[in-house]
Structure formats: structure tokens, C-alpha cells
Amino acid sequence: MSKGVINKPFFIFNPKSYLYGNELLDLAVLADELASKSNISVFVTAPYSDLKLVSENTEHVIITAQHMDGISPGRGMGHVLPESLYEAGARATVLNHAEHPMTLNELVQSMNKAKELGMVTIVCADSLAEATAIAKLNPDILLCEPTELIGTGQTSDENYIRQTNEAIKNVNDSILVMQAAGISTSEDVYRTISLGADGTGATSGIVKADNPRQALKDMIQAADRAYQSRDGKE
Amino acid sequence: MSKGVINKPFFIFNPKSYLYGNELLDLAVLADELASKSNISVFVTAPYSDLKLVSENTEHVIITAQHMDGISPGRGMGHVLPESLYEAGARATVLNHAEHPMTLNELVQSMNKAKELGMVTIVCADSLAEATAIAKLNPDILLCEPTELIGTGQTSDENYIRQTNEAIKNVNDSILVMQAAGISTSEDVYRTISLGADGTGATSGIVKADNPRQALKDMIQAADRAYQSRDGKE
Amino acid sequence: MSKGVINKPFFIFNPKSYLYGNELLDLAVLADELASKSNISVFVTAPYSDLKLVSENTEHVIITAQHMDGISPGRGMGHVLPESLYEAGARATVLNHAEHPMTLNELVQSMNKAKELGMVTIVCADSLAEATAIAKLNPDILLCEPTELIGTGQTSDENYIRQTNEAIKNVNDSILVMQAAGISTSEDVYRTISLGADGTGATSGIVKADNPRQALKDMIQAADRAYQSRDGKE
Amino acid sequence: MSKGVINKPFFIFNPKSYLYGNELLDLAVLADELASKSNISVFVTAPYSDLKLVSENTEHVIITAQHMDGISPGRGMGHVLPESLYEAGARATVLNHAEHPMTLNELVQSMNKAKELGMVTIVCADSLAEATAIAKLNPDILLCEPTELIGTGQTSDENYIRQTNEAIKNVNDSILVMQAAGISTSEDVYRTISLGADGTGATSGIVKADNPRQALKDMIQAADRAYQSRDGKE
């Protein structure tokens, strides 16, 4: 998997630790169908022990780990071995999420391993300052998610999105910018992509929806429509 | 899986992050055959993303995670969700290994989750002081592994093993005591079980052996012989 | 400082990071006067860089660090060197506070250093399970503070206090048991000591009081009265 | 203390946790005399509980903390409160040292507090990748110290120093670049400054020297001479 294959916009379905086993698989298979019918790149994250299950039952989504340690085969008892994730089918990994913050040194090591294995890196930043620092490390995707907004239902406001986008692209314009703070509905997805994000994603907007399958479907389609509409205007 | 089903002695094949995928599976399947032919309980640890693979291809070994966080389904991005490990086939977990130390609070929470799910807890201690503290938490298996000896090839000396055993059983005599420091050869395994350990295990003595399959076989058989011989004398 | 000199009851004024410099010194000096007029042992915690200031201006209170790493002189850049705390006048240290949790291995090492230097250890537990484990490590004082109650204004209920006390003394009856969850007023102090705690203490009940000096005075006197009254009955 | 007052070259005497109390004070006072007689900026780090002692007995050196948490007065039990360090006399702090690595989020917060209080930030990087990321955060001083060379007695080679310098200044040319890997002798100091470092420093080269006072004196003088000589040539 190289960055070249990530279509814009992309959508990351990130069920975190809410789902596992068959309940996760059901939604992952749906995401796979949706991905096959659109030009959009769809990432699906899974707990480490579900990566293989999801990978073996999908074809079009990019299987994504929730974290990965920058180690090589050897000791590392209890750590998350990159080679084992890749073998299980992961082709991308989230790094430095607010719920699993990394030291800068660990982040660099994990990014080096991802590059070595050809895995996409989706690196999280809690603030504009962090985002510009991370941009120098050449992640494939930079996820701007101000901690104070996560899960509150308040979408990042227009200014925030534009400024963040601009600040990151100024440092390194080959980075794809994901903005996912406060995405609760497909309208949030549409608006965020319309405002210039390269991609977005959701957790609670899907897993806590009355109908998670419908929510997932609506969001992926909203991302697709928003980009086509934006594209036309550009 | 309840402690009732752990036979003495037990042997833990703990390849840490040395092995994954098919190379790990090959040894796990061998361990499974050996386990089926003896009264010994054999645990096999695996990276999180290999648990399902190993579980689906074995019947007699106890599939064991290398670590587990004390969380329940929900956020916990990048953390190790107990329910996902169980669903993948894990029925035991190592906790507080020297390479993945836990705060006391985290340890208690993870042990509570293991109990809730009916998973065996294999808790590590770096010193006699730690071991007696952990013994009050009622782990199924307590692994005494003085950090300074790990991987050096020096077996714990007789006194150390006897004193540790006694100290732990004095606090809580229902705990199984595992001693695995410096186990390099099947002779080390034999000696450690003979000296009174309820179980033992190995990492580098197997994965770095010229013939890992032979080493694994020799060690499991040595554990079996040592216990029968000890039993006869008791 | 040996445990022999800790009088019962004891009171720990723990301003955490709320106070520093002269504002802290003012209350520490008041605590010192109150300590000199009673049989009660009074501990005062301070930020590391204020230990010397508080120590040089007091005689009767026991100067207490908020944490201490189990290292010896050497590298340890940025870590909290026990010898430097002792030299600055600290004769006690809190360990494993819920806001600074330690791995079990770190806790054992820090307790070993405290013993080596003759410093009192005040070790925190978040639950009864943790408390009984820590009791095996022989702390001088064990602080039972269920995380969920800290700072809520709800005093630990009578049953909780009695059960905790009993559980700890059953494991090791030479440990002094401190109970400080939800201590907001001098009435809480009186009640907690009356219910059998060897000591108690407060943070927000003092630093956030309208009149912190008065609150500190009232609490120390309440601890003294409660114990004398309890003593009479025993 | 603002960056404006840092003279080039600067020298950081960083005794880590090797020294405390009077032994530390003795060398700090010597550093103070040497600083008063030169145009060089001299920083002296100290354990938290020694900051006040060193500050009260010196005039010319910049008192430097070994680490600082990005918290404000409040809870933060056991954490390192910036305001308490400032009050004790610290006017600079090291951050993200290899022996006390920080998450990127923590680093940003600590740097924000330092800016708020007017303290100099000396931020460490383990690799060129880290250094360029940190450079975007506008530290006052960026310390390039490849982990693998620390304390080995091997000075960073010429190429490494020049490339690092250039990479950092390319990102942000207002940053002062410190290079201190493997500085054992005054010759190492002279060479490192000659090769273009804005500053350097030492730990073991001084505290483990047969005559630490002489070593400290020689190094500070070497830094001064090297820069004057380099300056002449520029």
C-alpha cells in the first residue's frame, strides 16, 4: 500500500474498542461493499486481534491498526509488533492518537517501521502546534483533532478547518489532511469535506447510531458527494 | 478456562515478539501435539494479531495473550481490549511482564477483567517483595523472574527457587508458582521443576535454538519427566 | 525519621500543586505552630523545589515530598532523586498517588530507597485489592483513597472505613491507616478519626476554603479531639 | 530571561542526578565565577529541590530545571509545577531529554508554560527527524543528541554536526543549536564549537573527571576560545 493509492476524499471508519468480532465484521463487510462502488478510499480500523478476521473478509477497504510500536521482531513482550500486523493484513496504522499518545521518539520509530513495511501512517495531532511539527515527519495522513472537541458533537468550525489545512500544507503540501473532530452525522461529513478536508471519519456517530449500518452508508456517500461537488467548483 | 484445568506442571512457550504468522503457527501446532500426548498444561503466547490464527489451528494448548488492558468495550483507541482477545480464542494472559510493566491500579483492573471473562492470569514479579504483594491479588499463576537474570543463561539457584516458592505459598497457597529465569535448555527445565516450581517456560531457549522444534519438544518432555519423578518422591 | 516518632493520630496537609513559594510557606508555618502545641504528628507536602524553603522555616512538621523515584545518584535526568529530597529536608514521601501512579516495580524501588534513607513512606491505594497488596510491602502509612471519591465532598462511609482498616491490619497490623477520601471540613476529619483511621488529611478542604488558615487550624484540632475522645472509649 | 540574553556560545553544565546539595553548589558557584568573567552564557541544571539553593548563591549562571510539566497550579500531585520552579529561581528548563521523554502533546504544553513564564526552553532530539519536527515548535535551544552516542566518549563527527545544524537552521534559523553528544574533554568542546554548534555542554566529562572543578573551568574556557577563533574566521 503506498500513498499513491489513497483516493481523495478518504473516509476512516474507526470503531476503536467499541466493536470486535462479528459485530465489527458485519460493518467492515458493509464498508467494503460501499468502497467497491465508489472512488473513495475507505479505511477500517480494528482491534489488533481482529485485523486478520476483517482482512480475510474484505477486499476494498484498507485494514488499519489502531496503534503500532516501532519495534522489530525480538523481545518486546506485550508490544505491538509491526510485522505481525502486516502479516495479519494491516496496510495502515493510526499513530499518536489522543487515547494513546506517543513520545516523539516512539513516533519517529513507528513511522520508520511503517515506511519500511509500506504501511500508510495516519498520525494524530491535538493542536496546530503539534500538527506543524508532525508535518515535518512526512506522515501520509495528518489527523487534526483538537482534544477538547473529540466526541462532543461540535464540528470543527470553518475557520479552524481552513487554518489547519493551510498551516499543514504550507509545511508539507504532500500530506493528506483529515479532520474528524465532532463528526456525528453525514451532514458533518459533507460539510467537513466541503470545507477542504482531504478526508474525515467517525467513531461514535456510527457505533452509537440507532442504525449503525445506515449511518456508515450515509457518511461514506456524503463524503463522496461533497468532494465531487467541491471538485466541480474548483 | 478455570484454574481447575491447569495441570501441574505447566509449561509456557512464550515466543514474545520473536515469531509471528506461519513460523509461530508451526511451533504452536507442534506444542499442541505434544500437549495432547501428555498430562502437562501447555500455554502458548502470541502477538495479539496472531491469537486467532493460533487458536483456530490448535486444540490442546491454552492460547495466551502477552498483555491485556483492563478496559471494557468503548473508547480505548490502541489499547488491548479483553473481549476481543477472548473472542479470538485467548483463554489466558500474561500481565506485568518486565517488558510491559503495569501500575498497580492497571494490574488490578486487568485482573478483574480476566476474572470476569474466565481467563487465566499469569502475573510477573521482579523481586520477592513484588511477588508477595501480587500474591494478595490472587493470580492463577505467579511468575517469579528477577529482572537481572532474564535471558542471561543463568538458572535461578536452588535457594532462590525454594525461598520464592515458600514465600508465595505462605501468602496464598492456591497460587501456582512459575519460575522461568534463565531457562536455556531442557536440563534447566528439568532442574527447575525438580526444585519445586509448579511450572516453567522459555523464550530464547527455543526461538534461538539451532532446532527450535527439537528444543520445544525436549523442554516439554523434560517438564513432564521432572514432575513425575518429583511426584514419586513426595 | 522513623515510624516510631509518628504519633497517632496524624494529619497530612497536602496542598499538591495548588500552592508554592510564600503562600505555601505561610500555611506551613501555621501548621508548624499547631504541631508544636499538640501531640499530633503533622505532615506537610510541598512541590520539590519548595521542600528546602519549608524545611528551613519549620521545626515540628514532617516535610514530605509528593513523589520520589527509586534512583540513586547518577544519570536520571529529570527524575526525582531521593538523596536530593533528603538533603533539602524531606523526611517522608507520598508514593503511588492516583495522580502519579507507579508500576509495582518502581514502587518497590522507591520504598527501598526511602528505607535506606530513613524516610517515612505514605503509599496510596485506589481500592481494597490494591491496599492489601501494598500492605505486604510494609509501608509506614497506607492511604486508602478510592479514586472515584477524591475531591467529591463525599466522605468515605463508615463501613468502607472499618472494612478497609480491618483488611489492612489483618495483613500487617504495624501499618498506620490513613483515610482521606472526601475530607472537606473539620467535621469530616473528626468523623474519620472517630471511625478508626489512624490519620487523615486534606487538600481542597483547605486550599479552597474561604479562610485556608482557619480551615487548617480547625482540621488539625478536630483530629486531635477525635482521637482523644476515641482513646477514652477504647 | 528571554532568548535575547543568551550569548553565543553557551555552555550547559548538566550534572543530572549525579550531584546535589553542597557538592553541586560548589561547582555551581565556580561556574558562576567563570560566567562573570566571560561573554559566554552558562546554564547550570540542578535537581528540582536544589534549584533554590543554587539560585540564591549565584548571579551570572542561568538556573535550569531538568524537566518541567506543562501544568498550572491545581492538582498535579507529584508533577513538576512550572510556577514553583520559577519562584525557586529557574529561568530555563530542559525538555524531552532521552532519560525523560515526553509525548508531543506534553512537550507542547510545557513549552507553552515556559513561554508564559518567560523561561528558556532547551529541547532535546534523538535524531535528525525529531530535530526538524521540534524546530517547528520554536524552542530557544535545540539539543541534538543521538541516543546511541550519549556518554560513549565518541564526539559527534563533523558531518553529523554540520548536517544537523543546517537542517535545523533551514527549518527555523532563530533556533540556537546545541550539540553535546560524547563531550568528554575540553578538546571535544573546542572542536564542537569550532564545527559550528552555537553551544555545548557536559555531564560525565565533568562529574566523573579526576578534578571536576578543573574540567568545568577548562570546558567553559574552551567554548569561549573556540567561538572567538571561529568568529574571527567568519
Q: Which chains touch C (3 or more CB pairs under 8 A)?
A: B, D
DSSP string, chain C: --GGG--SSEEEE--TBT--HHHHHHHHHHHHHHHHTSS-EEEEEE-GGGHHHHHHT-SSSEEEES---S--SBS-TTS--HHHHHHTT--EEEES-TTS--BHHHHHHHHHHHHHHT-EEEEEESSHHHHHHHHTT--SEEEE--GGGTTSS-PPPHHHHHHHHHHHHHH-TTSEEEE-TT--SHHHHHHHHHTT-SEEEESHHHHTSSSHHHHHHHHHHHHHHHHHHHHHH-
Quick check: is A62 in a domain?
A: yes
Please check whether residue D88 lies inside any domain of the structure: yes
Q: What is the DSSP letter of A106?
A: H
pLDDT tens digit sequence for C45-58: 999 999 999 999 99
With beta carbons under 8 A apart, name residues in chain D contacting C67: 77-78
Touch between C and A (at least 3 CB pairs under 8 Å)? no
pLDDT higher than 60, residue B23:
yes
- Mean pLDDT over A217-221 rounds to 97
In chain B, residues with a C-beta closer than 8 Å to the C-beta of A50 are 52, 84, 87-88
What is the distance in angstroms between the Cα of A73 and the nearest Cα belonging to chain B?
5
Res D3 pLDDT > 50 = no
Phi, psi angle pair for D197, to nearest 5°: -70, 140
Contacts of residue B24, defined as CB under 8 A and 6 or more positions apart, other chains included, come to B15, B46, B47, B50, B53, B54
Q: Is residue C171 a part of any domain in this protein?
A: yes
Determine whether C97 is an active site residue. Answer: yes
Question: Chains near B, with 3+ CB pairs < 8 A?
Answer: A, C
Question: Within a domain: residue A196?
Answer: yes
Average pLDDT of every residue of chain C: 91
Backbone angles phi, psi at A19, to 5 degrees: -125, 155
CATH number at residue C30: 3.20.20.70
Considering chain A, what is the average pLDDT of its residues? 91
Across the interface, whether the CB atoms of D71 and C16 are under 8 A apart is answered no
Choosing from D33, D100, D116, D145, the catalytic residue is D145
Q: Which residues does B164 contact at the CB level (< 8 Å), separation at least 6? A: B128, B131, B144, B156, B177, B179
Q: What is the pLDDT of residues D41-57, one digit of tens each?
A: 999 999 999 999 999 99
Model's pTM, two decimal places? 0.94
| Residue matched to cell numbers 501446532 | B29
Which member of C105, C130, C137 has the closest CB to residue B105?
A: C130
Angle, CA of C35, C157 and B134, to the nearest 5°: 85
Question: What is the reported pLDDT for B139?
Answer: 98
To 10 degrees, what angle do helices A104-117 and D128-135 make? 120
pLDDT at residue D217 greater than cutoff 70:
yes
A190-194, B20-24, C148-152, C200-204: least confidently modelled range: C148-152
ipTM confidence: 0.93
For the segment C25-40, the average pLDDT, to the nearest whole number, is: 95
Neighbours of chain D (3+ CB pairs under 8 A): A, C
A76 to B17: CB separation less than 8 angstroms, yes or no = yes
Q: Which residues of C touch D98 (CB under 8 A)?
A: 77
Measured CB to CB, residues of chain C less than 8 Å from chain D are 14, 16-21, 47-53, 66-67, 71, 73-81, 83-85, 87-88, 90, 94, 97-100, 203
Report whether pLDDT(A232) > 60. Answer: no
Q: What is the pLDDT of residue C157?
A: 67
E-assigned strand segments in chain B? 10-13, 41-46, 62-65, 92-95, 120-125, 141-144, 176-179, 199-202
Is the predicted pLDDT of residue D232 greater than 80, yes or no?
no
CA distance to partner chain B, nearest, from residue A158 (Å): 27
Measured between CB atoms, which of C108, C135, C171 is closest to B130? Answer: C108
Q: Which residues, including other chains, have CB under 8 Å from residue A234's CB and lie 6 or more apart?
A: none
Domain count along chain B? 1
Nearest of D15, D88, D93, D30 to residue D56 by alpha carbon: D88
pLDDT of residue C196: 87
Contact B182, B152 (CB under 8 A): yes
> What pLDDT sits at residue D151?
52
Q: Does chain D reach chain C with at least 3 CB pairs under 8 Å?
A: yes
Strand partners, A45: A64
pLDDT digits (tens, 9 = 90+) for A9-65: 999 999 999 999 999 999 999 999 999 998 899 999 999 999 999 999 999 999 999
Give the per-residue pLDDT at A150.
Answer: 52
- Give me the count of residues in chain B: 234
With 0-12 CB in 10 A as exposed, 13-18 as middle and 19+ as buried, what is D216?
Answer: buried
Name the catalytic one among C99, C116, C130, C145.
C145
Q: Which position among A97, A116, A148, A187 bears the catalytic label? A: A97
Decide if D74 and C17 are in contact by the 8 Å CB cutoff.
yes
Give D147's pLDDT tier (boundaries 50, 70, 90): low
Assigned domain for A2 exists: no
Cβ-contact A95, A121 below 8 angstroms: yes
| Partner-chain contact C47 D51, CB within 8 Å | no
State yes or no: pLDDT of D120 exceeds 50: yes
- Mean pLDDT computed over A136-153: 77
Q: Do C76 and D19 touch (CB under 8 A)?
A: no
- Do the chains contact at C77 and D85, CB–CB below 8 Å? no
Question: Using beta carbons and an 8 Å cutoff, which residues of A are at the interface with B?
Answer: 14, 16-21, 47-53, 66-67, 71, 73-81, 83-85, 87-88, 90, 94, 97-100, 203
> Which pLDDT score, from 0 to 100, does residue D2 have?
40
* pLDDT tens digits along B57-113: 999 999 999 999 999 999 999 999 999 999 999 999 999 999 999 999 999 999 999
Of the residues C18, C72, C77, the best mutation for testing chain D's interface (the one with the most D CB atoms within 10 Å of its CB) is: C77
C79/D20 touch (CB, cutoff 8 Å), yes or no: no
Is residue B170 in a domain? yes
Q: Which residue of A has its CA nearest to D167?
A: A136
- Let me know if chains A and D touch, i.e. at least 3 Cβ pairs under 8 angstroms: yes
B87 closest CB neighbour out of A20, A81, A203: A20
Q: Residue C3 has what pLDDT?
A: 44
Q: What is the pLDDT of residue A94?
A: 98
CA dist D200 → C191, D14, D29, D203, D224 (Å): 59, 10, 19, 11, 11
Q: Are the beta carbons of D77 and C66 separated by less than 8 Å?
A: yes
Give me the residue from C19, C67, C74 closest to D17, CB to CB.
C74
Q: Do chains D and B touch (3 or more CB pairs under 8 A)?
A: no
Burial per residue of D131-154, b for 16 or more beta-carbon CB atoms within 10 angstroms, e otherwise: bbbbbbbbbbbbbbbbeebbeeee
Q: Which residues of C touch D76 (CB under 8 A)?
A: 16-17, 99
Q: Which residues in chain A have Cβ-Cβ distances shorter than 8 Å to B78?
A: 66-67, 94, 97, 99-100
Determine, for residues C48 and D47 on separate chains, whether the beta-carbon distance falls below 8 Å. yes
Q: Which residues of A touch B87 (CB under 8 A)?
A: 20-21, 49-50
Give the H or E element holding residue A176.
Answer: strand A176-179
Q: Which residues pair with C44 in a beta bridge?
A: C13, C63
Residue C67 domain boundaries: 10-230
Residues 6 or more apart in contact with residue D146 via CB below 8 angstroms:
D126, D127, D156, D160, D181
Question: Is C158 noted as a catalytic residue in this protein?
Answer: no
Of residues D48, D50, D77, nearest to C16 (C-beta): D77
- pLDDT bucket at B170, cuts 50 / 70 / 90: very high
Tell me, yes or no, whether A1 lies in a domain.
no
Checking if the pLDDT of C77 tops 90, the result is: yes
C-alpha cell at C164: 478497609
- Report the Cα B48 to chain-centroid distance in Å: 15
Does pLDDT of A186 surpass 90?
Answer: yes
3-class SS at B56?
Answer: helix
Q: Do B136 and C171 touch (CB under 8 A)?
A: yes
pLDDT of residue A234: 47
* A106 or D39, greater pLDDT: A106
Chains B and C: 3 or more CB pairs within 8 Å of each other: yes
Q: Which chains touch A (3 or more CB pairs under 8 A)?
A: B, D
**Predicted confidence band of residue C7 (pLDDT cuts 50, 70, 90):** confident
Cross-chain residue pair C49–D53, CB shorter than 8 Å: no
Identified catalytic residue from A130, A145, A158, A234: A145
Residue C33 lies in a domain: yes
Across the interface, of D53, D73, D203, the residue whose CB is closest to C17 is: D73
Q: How far is C228 from chain D (nearest CA, A)?
A: 31
**Rounded Cα gap, residues C156 and C150, in angstroms:** 10
Q: Do D48 and C84 touch (CB under 8 A)?
A: yes
Please tell me what DSSP assigns to residue A3.
G
Instruction: Report the pLDDT averaged over residues C35-47.
Output: 94
Average pLDDT over residues B149-166: 69
Preferred mutation among A136, A138, A145 to probe D, highest tally of D CBs within 10 A:
A136
Rounded to a whole number of angstroms, the distance from the CA of D181 to the nearest CA of chain C is 15
Catalytic one of B67, B97, B100, B148: B97
Per CB-CB distance under 8 Å, the chain C contacts of B126 are 104-105, 108
